[in-house]
């Protein structure tokens, strides 16, 4: 499969992406940390937990890790005492790695995307976190941000990253969708910051947003 200069494949479809992740699942944690200096999971968890605490969310809050992958975000939430975490991801291979960590209450295969509801009832979670998923050749806004807002209860918080190189790319629709959900009073902005994402490649920063569901 064709790779870019950072070893990422130039996947264009979900099928390509799943092959890419299946091939690298067992080395994923080492590769992203050592090769790319990935720290997005740590910075996101740090900011999110501090805002959960400011908003008086108990450590028992039920949190959904969207695009959980191998569970790097779950591990960081666990370290910070938030341990009631479910997760989903389209890659069973990555979820197998997450399962081995023994930190998620429930893991399941599912996917964000247009015209698709994930297998979760409305208002199920107190909070959701989605790190590294709104990024190049991964997930666009349409049907994804709306879906996170559907499964989190009113008053709950949603945290997600958007990698800096795609933040304003119109074809991904991030800004427009975030504004639409504000206009339609689906959610309101709580926090918007720029955070460290990688330390060893060109995409060093991500935008980190936290919204409250209305
Ligand atoms: C860069 S990894 C990040 C994984 C994890 N959140 C982390 O921080 O280590 C991107 C993840 O997005 C998942 N993904 C790709 N397409 C997706 C989709 N349509 N819906 C949900 N997750 C998706 C991938 O399977 C992969 O686990």
The per-residue pLDDT for range 91-143, each reduced to its tens digit, is: 999 999 999 999 999 999 999 999 999 999 999 999 999 999 999 889 999 99
d(CA 69, CA 115): 22
For residue 44, which atom of ligand 1 is closest to its CA? 8
Using a 6 Å cutoff on CB, does residue 89 contact ligand 1?
yes
d(CA 155, CA 181): 15
CA of 60 to the centre of ligand 1 (A): 24
CA pseudo-torsion sign 94, 99, 101, 103? positive
CA angle 68, 73, 79 (to 5 degrees): 140
Using a 6 Å cutoff on CB, does residue 41 contact ligand 1?
yes
The pLDDT score that the predictor gives to residue 1 is: 43
Is the distance from CB of 86 to CB of 64 less than 8 angstroms?
A: yes
- Show the tokens assigned to 125: 């979670």
Using a 6 Å cutoff on CB, does residue 91 contact ligand 1?
yes
The pLDDT score that the predictor gives to residue 112 is: 97
Is the distance from CB of 157 to CB of 127 less than 8 angstroms?
A: yes
Tally of CB atoms within 10 A around 178: 19
CA of 139 to the centre of ligand 1 (A): 8
Overall average pLDDT of the 184-201 stretch: 94
- Show the tokens assigned to 20: 């890419």
Using a 6 Å cutoff on CB, does residue 33 contact ligand 1?
no
For residue 18, which atom of ligand 1 is closest to its CA? 25
Is the distance from CB of 73 to CB of 45 less than 8 angstroms?
A: yes
The pLDDT score that the predictor gives to residue 8 is: 54
Using a 6 Å cutoff on CB, does residue 131 contact ligand 1?
yes
In the numeric block, the tokens 């790779």 are attached to 3
Using a 6 Å cutoff on CB, does residue 67 contact ligand 1?
yes
pLDDT digits (tens, 9 = 90+) for 154-188: 999 999 999 999 999 999 999 999 999 999 999 99
CA of 68 to the centre of ligand 1 (A): 6
CA angle 94, 96, 102 (to 5 degrees): 115
CA angle 202, 33, 39 (to 5 degrees): 70
**Number of residues that this document lists for the chain:** 214
Using a 6 Å cutoff on CB, does residue 113 contact ligand 1?
yes
4 falls in which pLDDT band (50, 70, 90)? low
Find how far residue 59's CA is from the centre of its chain.
Answer: 20
Using a 6 Å cutoff on CB, does residue 149 contact ligand 1?
no
Predicted confidence (pLDDT) at residue 36 exceeds the cutoff of 90: no
Predicted confidence (pLDDT) at residue 10 exceeds the cutoff of 70: no
CA of 18 to the centre of ligand 1 (A): 10
d(CA 69, CA 159): 16
Using a 6 Å cutoff on CB, does residue 72 contact ligand 1?
yes
pLDDT digits (tens, 9 = 90+) for 55-86: 999 999 999 999 999 999 999 999 999 999 99
């Amino acid at each position: 499969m064709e790779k870019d200069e950072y070893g990422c494949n130039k996947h264009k479809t979900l099928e390509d992406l799943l092959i890419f992740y299946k091939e690298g699942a067992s080395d994923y944690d080492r590769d992203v940390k050592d090769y790319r200096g990935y720290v997005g999971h740590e910075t996101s968890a740090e900011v999110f937990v501090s805002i959960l605490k400011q908003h008086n969310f108990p450590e028992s809050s039920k949190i959904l890790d969207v695009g959980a992958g191998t569970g790097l975000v779950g591990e960081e939430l666990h370290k910070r005492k938030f341990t009631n975490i479910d997760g989903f991801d389209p890659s069973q291979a990555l979820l197998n790695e997450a399962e081995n960590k023994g930190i998620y209450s429930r893991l399941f295969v599912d996917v964000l995307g247009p015209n698709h509801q994930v297998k979760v009832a409305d208002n199920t979670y107190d909070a959701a976190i989605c790190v590294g998923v709104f990024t190049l050749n991964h997930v666009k806004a349409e049907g994804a941000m709306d879906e996170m807002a559907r499964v989190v209860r009113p008053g709950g918080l949603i945290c997600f990253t958007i990698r800096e190189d795609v933040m304003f790319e119109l074809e991904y629709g991030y800004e427009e969708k975030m504004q639409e959900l504000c206009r339609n009073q689906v959610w309101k902005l709580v926090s918007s910051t720029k955070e460290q994402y990688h330390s060893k490649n060109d995409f060093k920063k991500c935008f980190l947003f936290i919204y409250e569901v209305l």
